[in-house]
């Protein structure tokens, strides 16, 4: 069987849970995570295809570097801390800017409403509404509730269909 390679870009504000998600996907220990300076990359084998996941730090100072990683992205994963309501506006703005990027045009986007294990987490439907996701017309998108901490909702099979338009998976 031919092994297909998929380039996945993992973005979001700092403390959204990107690195935890990455390590969860790679079935690695998640108890020693530190804030990401720069980026992490991992290759994950899953059901005959190879996911190359790029996890870029979300600190404001690092966000200008995100654009250096846009090229050849097959899937954009945007992670949101569902319990950090104070920053919903900021995260919405960053996402809107990403969706406007020429280099990311047409790239399917998966939004993870992370930290659903917290009592104060907003449900995915509320976040979808707040971010006006229904106005996205130029690409395939999906919002998925998850808890990167427990691993619930992060399974690849749940979002495989995203990559179909890109000719992968």
Partner 1 sequence: MFVQVCLYFYCKCLWRCLKFVVRKLTGQCELQRICYNTKPGAARTMKIEASLKGSKSKRLQTSVSVQPDAIEKTIDDIMELKRINPDINPQLGVSLQACLLQIVGYRNLIAEVEKLRREMYDSENPQHEEMLLKLWKCLKPNSPLKARISKQWCEIGFQGDDPKTDFRGMGLLGLYNLVYFAEWDTEIAQQVLSDSLQPKYSQFSKAEWEKKKLDKAIGYSFAIVGINITDLAYNLLVSGALKTHFYNVAPEAPTLTHFQQTFCYLMHEFHKFWIEEDPLDIMEFNRVREKFHKRLLKQLQNPEMALCPHFAASESLINM
Q: Which residues bind partner 1 (CB under 8 A)?
A: 14-15, 30-35, 37-40, 58-62, 65, 68
Cα angle: 157, vertex 159, 163; to 5 degrees: 110
Q: Which is nearer to partner 1, 141 or 147 (CB)?
A: 147
Sign of CA dihedral 21, 26, 31, 37: negative
Whether 93 sits among the annotated catalytic residues: the reply is no
Active-site entry in 24, 37, 45, 59: 59
Least distance to partner 1, CB of residue 59, Å: 4
Least distance to partner 1, CB of residue 137, Å: 33
Query: How far apart (Å, rounded) are the C-alpha atoms in residues 51 and 8?
Result: 7
Q: Which is nearer to partner 1, 21 or 110 (CB)?
A: 21
Q: Is 86 marked as a binding-site residue? A: no
The single residue listed with the structure tokens 């097959």 is: 74
Q: Is 72 marked as a binding-site residue? A: no
Beta bridge partners of 11: 78
Least distance to partner 1, CB of residue 62, Å: 6
Query: How far apart (Å, rounded) are the C-alpha atoms in residues 6 and 24?
Result: 18
Q: How many CB atoms lie under 10 A from the CB of residue 106? A: 9
Q: Six-digit token pair at 126?
A: 């509320």
Q: What are residue 154's phi and psi, to 5 degrees?
A: -95, -5
Q: Is 15 marked as a binding-site residue? A: yes
Q: Is 81 marked as a binding-site residue? A: no
Q: Six-digit token pair at 88?
A: 């919903």
Least distance to partner 1, CB of residue 168, Å: 26
Q: Is 114 marked as a binding-site residue? A: yes
Q: Which is nearer to partner 1, 62 or 140 (CB)?
A: 62
Annotated binding site for GTP: 12-19, 58, 114-117
Write out the catalytic residue numbers: 59
Residues annotated as binding site?
Answer: 12-19, 36, 58, 114-117
């Amino acid at each position: 069987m031919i092994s297909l390679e998929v380039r996945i870009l993992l973005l979001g504000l700092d403390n959204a849970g990107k690195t935890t998600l990455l390590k969860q996907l790679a079935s690695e220990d998640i108890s020693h995570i530190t804030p990401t300076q720069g980026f992490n990359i991992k290759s994950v084998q899953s059901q005959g295809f190879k996911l190359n996941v790029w996890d870029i730090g979300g600190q404001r100072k690092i966000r200008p570097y995100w654009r250096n990683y846009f090229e050849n992205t097959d899937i954009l994963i945007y992670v949101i801390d569902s319990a950090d309501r104070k920053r919903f506006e900021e995260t919405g703005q960053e996402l809107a800017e990403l969706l406007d990027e020429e280099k990311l045009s047409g790239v399917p986007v998966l939004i993870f409403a992370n930290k659903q294990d917290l009592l104060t987490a907003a449900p995915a439907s509320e976040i979808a509404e707040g971010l006006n996701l229904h106005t996205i017309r130029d690409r395939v998108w999906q919002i998925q509730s998850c808890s990167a901490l427990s691993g619930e909702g992060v399974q690849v099979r749940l979002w495989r269909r995203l990559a179909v338009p890109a000719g992968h998976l």
